[in-house]
Amino acid sequence: MSSASGQHIREYINGLDESFLLFDDLDDALIGIAAVDYLEYPVYSKRKMVKHFMSDGMSFDEALEYVDFNVVCIKVSDALNPIIVDDITF
């Protein structure tokens, strides 16, 4: 999926009445929308997040650690947190 598709998903989510947490500069990792309990949640690919940070010069291990500790663990109490698919295979 291209970042243009991620941008379309972002625009769709922003048009909903709910307050979802969307990660800045990670539209290339935004892969879809999941319906859960009558709400539509943004869905991110962890693998694509890691690739995004690797393209900024991080090694795989650095990018994975960064995503795990600075992105995946973010929980905002007044926002609905996105779904992050752990699609990294070893």
Q: What is the pLDDT of residues 6-34, one digit of tens each?
A: 888 888 887 876 788 888 899 999 999 89
Q: What is the pLDDT of residues 45-89, one digit of tens each?
A: 999 999 999 999 999 999 999 999 999 888 777 778 899 999 998
The pLDDT value given to residue 17: 67
Contact 33, 13 (CB under 8 A): yes
- Do the Cβ atoms of 48 and 2 come closer than 8 Å? no
Instruction: Kindly state the tokens that stand for 87.
Output: 């699609």
| HSE, side-chain direction, 13 A CA sphere, residue 19 | 5
Tokens of 39: 């709400």
Q: Does the pLDDT value for residue 36 go beyond 60? A: yes
pLDDT of residue 31: 93
Q: What is the pLDDT at residue 90?
A: 66
Provide the token pair at 32. 């879809």
